[in-house]
Amino acid sequence: MVVARRFDLVLRGYRVAGRPQTVDIAVSDGIIAAITESLDGGGDVEVAVGGRLVAPAFVQPHIHLDKVGTLPLLGENRTGTLAEAIEILHRTKRAGTPEEISERAGVVIRQAVLAGTTIIRTHVDVDTIGGLSPLRGVVRAAREHADLCDVQIVAFPQEGILRDPGTLELMDQAMREGATVVGGMPHWESSPDDSARHVEACLDLAQRYDADVDMHVDETDDADSRTLAMLVEATARRGWGGRVTAGHCCAMAAWEDGYAADVIMDAVAAGVMFVTNPATNLLLQGRADREPRRRGLPRVKEMLRAGAVVACGQDCVQDGFYPFGAADPLQTALILCHAAQLSLPAEIDHALESISGAAARVLGLEGYGVDPGCFADLVVLDADDPHEALRLTAPRRWVIRRGSVIAETDVRTSLLRSEGHRVHGERPHRIS
Task: Give me the least distance between CB of 298 and Zn ion, in Å please.
Answer: 13
Helix (H) / strand (E) containing 248: strand 244-248
Q: Which of 315, 328, 353, 377 binds Zn ion (CB under 5 A)?
A: 315
- Whether 408 sits among the annotated catalytic residues: the reply is no
Give min distance, CB of 177 to Zn ion, in A.
21
SS3 content of the chain, % helix, strand, coil (to 5): 35, 25, 40
Judged by beta carbon, residue 164 or residue 315, the one nearer Zn ion is 315
Of 398-417, binders to Zn ion (CB under 5 A) are none
Cα 105 from chain centroid? 15
Of 31-39, 40-48, 309-317, 333-341, the segment contacting Zn ion by CB under 5 A is 309-317
Our CB check for Zn ion shows the closer of 159 and 315 to be 315
SS3 197: helix
Nearest-approach distance from CB 248 to Zn ion, in angstroms: 6
Q: How far is the CB of 284 from Zn ion (least distance, A)?
A: 11
User: Which listed residue (87, 219, 256, 388) is catalytic?
Assistant: 219
Picking from 242, 312, 238, the residue whose alpha carbon sits closest to that of residue 277 is 312
Residue whose beta carbon is closest to Zn ion: 315
Q: Which helix (H) or strand (E) holds 183?
A: strand 181-184
Of 27 and 359, nearer to Zn ion (C-beta) is 359
Which listed range, 87-95, 293-301, 312-320, 365-373, lies at the site for Zn ion (CB under 5 A)?
312-320
C-alpha–C-alpha distance, residues 99 and 267, integer Å: 40
User: Is-contact 311 358, C-beta < 8 A?
Assistant: yes
Minimum distance, C-beta of residue 126 to Zn ion, in the bound complex (Å) = 14
Q: What is the 3-state secondary structure (H, E, C) of 316-354?
A: CCCCCCCCCCCCCHHHHHHHHHHHCCCCCHHHHHHHHHC
Nearer to Zn ion, 219 or 377 (CB): 219
Q: Is 8 in the site for Zn ion (CB under 5 A)?
A: no
Range list of H helices, 96-240:
98-114, 133-144, 167-176, 192-208, 227-238
Of the pair 218, 315, the CB lying nearest Zn ion is at: 315
Q: In whole angstroms, how far apart are CA 245 and each of 183, 199, 252, 355?
A: 9, 12, 15, 15
Select from 50-58, 108-116, 202-210, 310-318 the region that touches Zn ion (CB under 5 A). Answer: 310-318
User: Site residues (CB under 5 A) for Zn ion?
Assistant: 315
Which residues are designated catalytic? 219
